């Protein structure tokens, strides 16, 4: 028989954005160490539904660490105690029998709570729409190797493009800053040759959208990099700051 154990969950419950929330305690038994954290929440929700109670609302989609929708604070850490891991890929073997686990939504003014552990992260979409793209008339299909990109450049761009937009950097930062997310999105386009024509205006537009969304500024504590499940480097922020200053000085167009 598989070894199972029990945990005590203290989960943030909030009916909607206009109501006050509170921590509610739930004992959960029969937890397998091979369960993911979300599978454990699924099991709890099944128990709640059988008892006629409201299940806990939380974001999820791919459950493969790709989409970035499963974010939540677990014992005060974004995505939980495992490094370079999303909540959906966190396994219950990281916890012990009898543990008390606190589960909360992302805490940021720019990420208002929708319900329970679900938050509205559409501000990230707004930032992407502001400048996270390349405007070109592609015409017909082009050969894949028509624009030669040196491997170091391609690797650097890909390391920034790995950002999945989960929001852990915002939730972790004491200022609720989105600088790691924005700099990653600006960097991976700005590094590639296809992104050069709009380099200056892109940075200006994305930074402006970030500020208007209500995110805080960066004070270089490094918490964002430490909790990022994809290991996005804080070096991107310094690059974006330099690009922003350069664009304000030399760009013909300023917004």
Using pLDDT thresholds of 50, 70 and 90, give the confidence band for residue 48. Answer: very high
Inform me whether the pLDDT recorded for 194 exceeds 90. Answer: no
pLDDT, residue 205, reads 95
Domains, the chain, in order of start with CATH, read 5-114 (3.10.20.30), 121-136+144-250 (1.10.1060.10)
Q: What angle do CA 180, 181, 185 make, to 5 degrees?
A: 115
pLDDT, residue 133, reads 84
The pLDDT of 110-126, averaged and rounded, is 97
CB 219 within 8 A of CB 174: yes
Using pLDDT thresholds of 50, 70 and 90, give the confidence band for residue 138. Answer: low
For the ranges 90-99, 147-156, 187-196, the one whose mean pLDDT is highest: 90-99
> How far is 80 from 94, CA to CA, in rounded Å?
9
Inform me whether the pLDDT recorded for 221 exceeds 50. Answer: yes
Q: How far is CA 185 from CA 119, 124, 181, in A?
A: 21, 10, 6
Inform me whether the pLDDT recorded for 1 exceeds 50. Answer: no
The alpha-helical segments, DSSP class H, found in 140-234 are 151-161, 168-172, 179-191, 199-213, 223-227
Average model confidence (pLDDT) across the chain: 93
Using pLDDT thresholds of 50, 70 and 90, give the confidence band for residue 21. Answer: very high
Inform me whether the pLDDT recorded for 33 exceeds 60. Answer: yes
pLDDT, residue 196, reads 87
Torsion-angle region of 76 (φ positive above 0: left; ψ -120 to 50: alpha; else: beta): left
pLDDT digits (tens, 9 = 90+) for 158-176: 999 999 999 999 999 999 9
Question: What whole-number percentage of the chain has pLDDT above 90?
Answer: 84
The pLDDT of 179-206, averaged and rounded, is 92
């Amino acid at each position: 028989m598989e070894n199972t154990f029990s945990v005590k969950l203290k989960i943030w419950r909030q009916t909607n954005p206009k109501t006050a929330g509170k921590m509610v305690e739930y004992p959960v038994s029969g937890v397998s160490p091979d369960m993911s954290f979300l599978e454990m929440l699924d099991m709890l929700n099944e128990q709640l539904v059988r008892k006629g109670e409201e299940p806990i609302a939380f974001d999820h989609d791919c459950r493969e660490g790709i989409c970035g929708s499963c974010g939540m604070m677990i014992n005060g850490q974004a995505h939980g105690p495992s490094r370079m891991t999303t909540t959906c890929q966190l396994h219950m073997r990281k916890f012990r029998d009898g543990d008390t686990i606190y589960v909360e939504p992302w805490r940021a003014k720019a990420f208002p709570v929708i319900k329970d552990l679900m938050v509205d992260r559409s501000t990230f979409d707004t930032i992407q729409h502001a400048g996270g793209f390349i405007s070109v008339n592609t015409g017909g299909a082009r050969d894949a190797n028509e624009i030669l990109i040196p491997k170091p450049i391609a690797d650097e761009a890909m390391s920034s493009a790995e950002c999945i937009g989960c929001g852990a950097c915002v939730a972790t930062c004491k200022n609720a800053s989105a600088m790691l997310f924005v700099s990653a999105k600006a960097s991976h386009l700005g590094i590639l040759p296809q992104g050069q024509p709009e380099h200056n205006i892109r940075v200006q537009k994305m930074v402006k959208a970030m500020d208007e969304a209500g995110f805080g500024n960066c004070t270089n504590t490094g918490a964002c990099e430490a909790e990022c499940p994809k290991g996005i480097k804080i070096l991107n922020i310094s690059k974006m700051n330099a690009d922003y200053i350069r664009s304000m000085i030399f760009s013909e167009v300023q917004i």
